[in-house]
Amino acid sequence: MDSPSRSGVFQASTDARLEAFAESISFDKRLYRQDIRGSIAHARMLQANGLISESDLSAIVDTLQQIETEIEAGDFPIRLELEDIHMHIESVLIDRIGDVGRKLHTARSRNDQVSTDARMWVRESIDQVDALLLELQRSFLGRCEADMDVILPAYTHLQRAQPVLAPHYWLAYVEKFQRDRDRLADCRRRVNQSPLGVAAVAGTTLPIDRQMTANALDFEGVTANSLDTSSDRDFILESAFVLSLVASHLSGWAEEWILWSTVEFNFIKMPQQFCTGSSIMPQKVNPDTLELTRGKSARVMGNLQTLMLLVKNLPLAYNRDLQEDKPPLFDSFDTIIAMLELAIPIVAGSQLQRQAIAARIEEGYLDATTLMEWLIKKGMPQRTAHHAVGAIVGQAMEAGVPLADLSLQAMQQHAAEIDESIFESLGTANAVAAFTSYGSTAPDQVRQQVTSWSERLK
């Protein structure tokens, strides 16, 4: 059988190879709920504007609801010649109620239909990702009270830099995921505009009410230019971009915790239910979940590239290329959701290796900058203090001791200003306590941030 989209103008039927090449039902099937909801809103609007009768409307609505129940039950025969989810549902409708079903597509095209379905799908998926990001933020925040006593090295260039409180690390991720949530919310505003009623490309001569369908489908407004709307996939690209940033944040975190769970670092132990073993080495407890989080993030970023390239040369307005937007779109959301569902319990359930961390926290001269700033407070120019402390650190390295174990005289050789009170600033605990600036790892600052995030994420 031929596609119902082939009008009387065709004299040859579709080549089977084209049917297989052009179908999208294999992946757009998952839009069935949005498609039926959109069709019901559209039918109600047609009836309210005298384009179909009340009895037409009730036959259409009842049958669409039946079809939805059947699809939900897995009872949905796929026929490649029907191309996509839109044609599948419409053709079942026509099979069942004949001419009345043939009225549903009045003042509508698959071009505005697919955009409507996709916008509703993206909107729901954004909400799902947002809820998971919130849970992940809560996992990080939930660790803060209990980990307040732990000092970790902060790194730059992956070299030990300065000491920070463990909750300062946790809140760093809370901040990143908050920006992702803010971006999602902003993107959602542009997703949430109704394209329904722009029809194929230029609008329609029939008396429709676009505001009515927009309201029924919970859109915030209606799009203003039919040519733009028919071609517009910005909302898909934008969400794919936001998800790429989420992926980047998750991937960076995963990399960090993979390192932290090595024997070399030994900072953290992940819950065993999220680790895997080796088929040959009996001692192995591998962080595969985090490795796959890092690995799958590449897919999400690749999807963004696919989408960028897909649209970049398209003249206005709808082009069939746009059908290729769905596999990368779906894959990005599916992948991010799966990654978040695992990150949430891993973050909440991992154990800091307190003893191992403490045993080496005085290595790496994390307090060197504190000593330099102590000298600056005594009036020494920064460059001079930087140089002097470098020399002091060099001496400590040679002796193989931390700064706090050097004698006062040894330090005074490089900076005469140093006195006994310096020992109140040396050592990582003193160094952390010495911080004061806003946004720093000063214990007061971190506690304030924990309180304010607890309020915000309630």
List the catalytic residues: 157, 278
- The answer to the question of residue 143 lying near ligand ARG (CB under 6 A) is no
Distance of CA 396 to the CA centre of its chain: 46
CA 91/CA 103 separation, integer angstroms: 12
Distance, in Å, from the CA atom of 211 to the CA atom of 222, rounded to the nearest integer, reads 7
Nearer to ligand ARG, 217 or 268 (CB): 217
Position among 173, 318, 333, 374 found at the interface with ligand ARG (CB under 6 A): 318
Return the residue of 17, 320, 383, 458 that touches ligand ARG, per CB under 6 A.
320
Nearer of residues 108 and 110 to ligand ARG, judged by Cβ: 110
DSSP letters for 25-62: HHHHGGGHHHHHHHHHHHHHHHHHTTSS-HHHHHHHHH
Q: In whole angstroms, what is the distance from residue 246 CA to residue 333 CA?
A: 11
Give the residue, chosen from 114, 151, 174, 208, that forms a contact with ligand ARG under the rule CB under 6 A: 114
Residue showing tokens 């799958």: 296
The identity of residue 259, as a single letter, is: L
Structure tokens at 51: 């384009």
Cβ(190)–Cβ(238) below 8 Å: yes
Please report the sign of the dihedral spanned by the C-alpha atoms of residue 318, residue 324, residue 330, residue 332. negative
Scanning 218-226, 242-250, 293-301, 320-328 for contacts with ligand ARG by CB under 6 A, the matching segment is 320-328
323 counts as binding ligand ARG under rule CB under 6 A: yes
Q: Which stretch binds ligand ARG (CB under 6 A): 12-20, 243-251, 315-323, 348-356?
A: 315-323
Residues 383-442 that bind ligand ARG (CB under 6 A): none
**Interactions with ligand ARG, residue window 72-111 (CB under 6 A):** 84, 110-111
C-alpha angle 36/39/42, rounded to 5°?
155
**116 belongs to the binding site for ligand ARG (CB under 6 A):** no
Instruction: Work out how close the CB of 199 gets to ligand ARG at its nearest, in angstroms, rounded to a whole number.
Output: 11
Beta strands in 243-388 (DSSP E): 268-269, 351-352
- Whichever of 246 and 311 has its CB closer to ligand ARG, that residue is 311
Size of the site for ligand ARG (CB under 6 A): 10
The contact pattern for ligand ARG, residues 260-299, with x = CB under 6 A and - = no contact, is ----------------------------------------
User: Of 322, 366, 368, 372, which lies in the binding site for ligand ARG, with binding defined by CB under 6 A?
Assistant: 322
Rule CB under 6 A: say whether 24 interacts with ligand ARG. Answer: yes
Q: How far is CA 95 from CA 13, 32, 92, 309, in A?
A: 21, 18, 5, 39
Q: What is the nearest approach in angstroms of ligand ARG to the Cβ of residue 260?
A: 44
Residue 91: CB minimum distance to ligand ARG, A? 14
Cβ atoms of 41 and 196 within 8 Å: the answer is: yes
Q: Is 50 exposed, middle or buried (0-12, 13-18, 19+ CB in 10 A)?
A: exposed
**Nearest distance from residue 105's CB to ligand ARG, in Å?**
12
Residue 115 near ligand ARG by CB under 6 A: no
User: Contact residues for ligand ARG (CB under 6 A)?
Assistant: 24, 28, 84, 110-111, 114, 318, 320, 322-323
